[in-house]
Amino acid sequence: MPSTLPTAVPEAVLFDLDGTLVDTAPDLAQATNALRQHHGLAPLAYEQIRGQVSNGGSALVTLAIGLESGSQAHDTAREYLLDAYEQAVAVHSQVFKPLDQWLTRWHAQARLWGIVTNKPRRYTLPLLDALALKPGALLCADDLSVKKPAPEPLWEAAHRLGVAPQACWYVGDHVRDIDAAKAAGMTAVAVGYGYISEEDNYQQWPADIWFETCEDLVDALNAFHHTANQ
């Protein structure tokens, strides 16, 4: 975490979903190991799967059974994995602590926030319903013709919230999130507690701010919350 933070209070905070706002890895790991079991293979360790979650279903298929994308067999396996996930999308998933408490306070103050994710609505809406999350703006992978790292979903989220992109933070746990935020003209916030593989260094991403832990992020957001209410 840098020694100084931007002095301007963000008018809106936008989040990536998986690995940034919600810890979805436990349920995705179960689906990944269901695919393994379907192919007669032993379960993978949770931490091995966790590091690939932000790379999407295709990456999880490759990790699980070694099939690279671009084949019918890979596509069939991906559908199997995603069907298994859809049946148990919010069994163990939960908002990262203490973001859950911060979000409750932020929402109660009618402050603006949203979610921009590359997760399709098919899985996002049941997850948000189960967690009682009601973002002011929600952009999923299938809402526009492009998705992150393109800036358009972030621009659309800001538009729906009625704020300028420059007045938004975008928080993410993947370099594509940071690239999207920079392209959109938002404050790019990288977090190190998400689904980051061992060979990746989030502190090398071209962010404006870096937070190692969720507690660090919430401390900064709480400071802004206090400033805004003085």
Q: Which residues are catalytic?
A: 16, 18
Distance in angstroms between the alpha carbons of the first and the last residue of the chain: 25
Residue 119 · residue 216 · CB < 8 Å: no
